[in-house]
Structure 1
């Protein structure tokens, strides 16, 4: 993509972003369903729900800015912008360019912050997340500095690979790539260790390993995109603009796919554990037994009438034919 015109790459990135955005909206609907299905309002994980909504709002805002940017570059300023649409889409000081990258920074900071929080919840140790926190802080600093550097680019505003800005952008990409790989590795390792311990105590099929697979899938998807993004900056390829636009919905998709799988798997695990616990209690005699009252039948007289070839019994003072549904009476 090194020789791809800027206006062509902008149109291509808009199409790809819109496809991924539509898929992320479907994933968001699935996430909300997983969080709220058969749950009362107070039982919903409100912080995670808020993060999911923020990711959707950020993706939507980025999609809107992309549409406005395409309309400005190809229609509104097509004949008035110096050097035409190609120059418009390469200008790093242009307002829509800065807004889009600011939204990308915010999306990355939000998603990576959730990953660090997941590591803390799973490990319950501050020492484990010291390095992820440092990387997360590096993401914030380098991201803000990159956007600020683009806004102040006066000498060469048409070159995103200018030395004073490129180093901050590359530092941002490396920081988020390292944070993603480290947090994903910590999560996968912790879940795998828990599974190894639990598997020795049960004979049923594993309900945790699917979480490991989806964590690995999400990490691979995001890491491949970031690695390609980094290669584009190293080789000064115009493909970086395409990948930066695709990054926002991809971040939302990876977050939603992990959350949906964990939520569904947790419900299955809790239901299975509850059923197994009840069965074990019944086998051990820990379930409260409700004694049944004994059934007593008072048969005071039994006669056989040869003439009618019928049998009857007397319960108290009442004669009933043999085989009647009232043969047993609870007292």
Structure 2
């Protein structure tokens, strides 16, 4: 066990949670504006223009992270202010197998499952809605759902509320290990898809070049965005798994990092993705004279940002192809 006491670990976790929640709210406000209004912000999007999957996920992430913060605050008040019995604050944290512990223990895996689920959805969407591509990540995700249910069932039966107790530790280790696997697989598949389309565009002459002569590929920016966000998520998950495995009280601050990093990275992908689709005055686009006869429309600039789910821009940029020979 770590030399850090449980009350101290809970206080540090709450400090991290409050700071990250503030950052999350800022990114949520920006992402929400992009989701619900046009790029210019002059009008609300029509219902047909709104990406409802992203809106619903954003709402669930917000409600869940807020619930976790509120319950953690209530627990701290009970431990350090209201409770005056033997054992002090430690007694509340170690014998809190009531509704507070159950809700807090539900919020973290639920937030993680949402983050993993949206990664799988993005992967499925970009690979032309191929179920074969996401078969393995999706099966692991379903296994993680079952693992979470078993984890919570054991926790409800535990005599103490510590989520690092030996009875349920293997289930927690399995959950975080599978979370890391899902993140690595889906991020690699998404980046691989973007890279393939980017190579095809360059091969067919669809290149975005700045007026200063420096190549500037929108898909390259999207690929970097996904890699950076995936690295943040993966590093935090690895840290959470490590602290959980060694049964350290640092697992509590790690869980606070995890639950809010999911929402922050989700919002950053939307924000940075939308920025890459906006037209820039210093950018010129070079496209071939002929395009495929099956092409119905194509977008070379950012347009109005009608498709806020920025990664679906692949459908637009990959439509360019050499003229069909007859």
Fold-level similarity (TM above 0.5): yes
Deviating beyond 4 angstroms after TM superposition, the runs of 4 or more aligned structure 1 residues are: none
Relative contact order (C-alpha < 8 Å, sep 6+): which is higher? 2
**Which segment drifts farther, 68-77 or 84-93?**
84-93
1:241 matched to 2:252? The reply is yes
Which residue does 1:84 correspond to in 2?
A: 88
Question: In the alignment, is the contact (CA less than 8 A) between 1:92 and 1:153 conserved in 2?
Answer: no
1:163 matched to 2:166? The reply is yes
1:202 matched to 2:206? The reply is yes
In 1, the alpha carbon distance for the partners of 2:136 and 2:30 equals 32
- SS for the counterpart of 1:176 is helix
Aligned counterpart for 1:260 among listed residues 267, 271, 285: 271
1:7 matched to 2:10? The reply is no
Aligned counterpart for 1:47 among listed residues 43, 49, 53: 53
In 1, the alpha carbon distance for the partners of 2:153 and 2:77 equals 25
Question: In the alignment, is the contact (CA less than 8 A) between 1:142 and 1:168 conserved in 2?
Answer: yes
Question: In the alignment, is the contact (CA less than 8 A) between 1:34 and 1:264 conserved in 2?
Answer: no
In 1, the alpha carbon distance for the partners of 2:58 and 2:30 equals 11
Which residue does 1:191 correspond to in 2?
A: 194
In 2, the alpha carbon distance for the partners of 1:224 and 1:51 equals 22
Which 5+ residue runs of structure 2 have no aligned equivalent? 39-43, 210-215, 291-326
In 2, the alpha carbon distance for the partners of 1:59 and 1:160 equals 18
Which residue does 2:122 correspond to in 1?
A: 118
Which residue does 1:141 correspond to in 2?
A: 146
- SS for the counterpart of 1:164 is coil
Question: In the alignment, is the contact (CA less than 8 A) between 1:192 and 1:212 conserved in 2?
Answer: yes
Question: In the alignment, is the contact (CA less than 8 A) between 1:35 and 1:263 conserved in 2?
Answer: no
Instruction: Quote how far apart the aligned CAs of 1:276 are.
Output: 6.4
1:64 matched to 2:75? The reply is no
How does the TM-score come out when normalised to structure 1?
Answer: 0.77
String of CA shifts for 1:182-237, please: whole Å, max 9, x gaps.
11111011111111111221342311111111111111111111111111122111
How does the TM-score come out when normalised to structure 2?
Answer: 0.78
User: Which of these two proteins has the greater Rg computed from alpha carbons?
Assistant: 1
Aligned counterpart for 1:251 among listed residues 257, 262, 268: 262
- SS for the counterpart of 1:128 is coil
Aligned residues: 273
Aligned counterpart for 1:96 among listed residues 97, 100, 117: 100
Which residue does 1:172 correspond to in 2?
A: 175
In 1, the alpha carbon distance for the partners of 2:260 and 2:162 equals 25
Which residue does 1:315 correspond to in 2?
A: none
In 1, the alpha carbon distance for the partners of 2:45 and 2:241 equals 44
